[in-house]
């Protein structure tokens, strides 16, 4: 429920951001939020063809809405942004629900979050203290290579500790490698959202969380890391 609520609020900020930007797109906000929440809950809706059905609805309904709208200017762009929000937030966050339902799912969820937060924390403090070389100045000017490397190192430490603490069924060598991969994808997710905000002409996606931006700003890393951990467990742990 907490993931669904956060996802719904993030979807609202996503749609508001797009609507307020210079793109002139007007996404189907209510539909987008509802579908985002349904996608997040979809692993609990255990019947055949659930994903194809949801994808079909997500594609067709906004198409019909685009045709029926009185103002059809930039209608296709609005359709694209509606679908993008559903998949980016709803589909990616749903992997945490799927991960939770696996064997030792609760421990794996905590692992994914712990490594992600370690990446963010170490990257911030090391980048702030020793950062000299810009990582992606055209996307996020404050991020540095030193900070990114620090984030990876912090993630590796927490990955090994989490594997030991939660008694996860992988050895420490794999914990190091998985920590590196999760950290990299977390930082990619962070940069991806920074690129989205830059294209929309804003600094933060919202002001719902004083000092931390909006709800969407808080999930920029975890939307990618949950996917990585889920598919690793499914493919290699079983």
- Average pLDDT estimate for 71-81: 83
Residues 86 and 155 reside in one and the same domain: no
Residue located via tokens 């055209």 = 138
Q: Which pLDDT score, from 0 to 100, does residue 212 have?
A: 54
Residues 151 and 238 reside in one and the same domain: yes
Residues 7 and 30 reside in one and the same domain: yes
The number of folded domains in the chain is 2
pLDDT higher at 111 or 209: 111
Residues 114 and 162 reside in one and the same domain: yes
Q: Which pLDDT score, from 0 to 100, does residue 84 have?
A: 95
- Average pLDDT estimate for 90-117: 96
Answer whether 0.85 is exceeded by the pTM.
yes
Measure Cα distances from 1 to 41, 116, 206, 227 in Å.
8, 21, 22, 19
Judged against a pLDDT cut of 60, whether residue 213 lies above it is answered with yes
Residues 109 and 209 reside in one and the same domain: yes
Measure Cα distances from 100 to 8, 61, 108 in Å.
19, 30, 7
Residues 73 and 110 reside in one and the same domain: no
Percent of the chain with pLDDT over 90: 68
The residue among 84, 101, 118 that closes a domain is 101
User: Could you report how far apart the first and last alpha carbons of the chain are, in Å?
Assistant: 26
* Six token digits for residue 31: 């539909």
The residue among 101, 132, 154 that closes a domain is 101
* Six token digits for residue 195: 């690129």
Range of the domain at 147: 105-238
Report the C-alpha gap between 178 and 168 in whole angstroms. Answer: 12
Judged against a pLDDT cut of 90, whether residue 65 lies above it is answered with no
User: Is 19 within 8 Å of 25 (Cβ atoms)?
Assistant: yes
Which are the contacts of 124, defined by CB distance < 8 A and separation ≥ 6?
A: 147
Q: Which pLDDT score, from 0 to 100, does residue 205 have?
A: 61
Q: Which pLDDT score, from 0 to 100, does residue 71 have?
A: 74
* Six token digits for residue 213: 């931006």
Residues 89 and 129 reside in one and the same domain: no
Of how many residues is the chain composed?
A: 238
The residue among 53, 73, 101 that closes a domain is 101
Q: Which pLDDT score, from 0 to 100, does residue 48 have?
A: 66
Report the C-alpha gap between 109 and 235 in whole angstroms. Answer: 16
């Amino acid at each position: 429920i907490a993931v669904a609520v956060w996802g719904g609020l993030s979807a609202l900020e996503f749609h508001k951001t797009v609507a307020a930007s210079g793109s002139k797109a007007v996404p189907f906000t209510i539909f987008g939020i509802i579908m985002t929440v349904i996608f997040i809950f979809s692993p609990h809706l255990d019947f055949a063809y659930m994903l194809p059905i949801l994808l079909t609805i997500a594609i067709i309904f906004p198409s019909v809405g685009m045709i029926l709208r009185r103002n059809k200017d930039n209608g296709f762009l609005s359709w694209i942004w509606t679908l993008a929000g559903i998949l980016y937030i709803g589909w990616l966050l749903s992997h945490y629900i799927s991960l939770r339902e696996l064997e030792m799912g609760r421990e794996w969820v905590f692992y994914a979050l712990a490594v992600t937060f370690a990446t963010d924390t170490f990257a911030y403090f090391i980048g702030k203290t020793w950062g000299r070389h810009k990582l992606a100045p055209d996307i996020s000017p404050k991020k540095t290579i030193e900070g990114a490397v620090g984030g990876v190192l912090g993630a590796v430490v927490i990955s090994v500790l989490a594997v030991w603490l939660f008694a996860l069924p992988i050895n420490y060598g794999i914990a190091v490698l998985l920590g590196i991969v999760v950290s990299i994808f977390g930082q990619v997710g962070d940069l991806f959202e920074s690129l989205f905000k830059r294209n929309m002409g804003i600094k933060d996606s919202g002001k719902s969380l004083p000092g931390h931006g909006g709800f969407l700003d808080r999930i920029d890393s975890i939307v990618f890391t949950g996917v990585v951990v889920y598919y690793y467990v499914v493919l290699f742990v079983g």
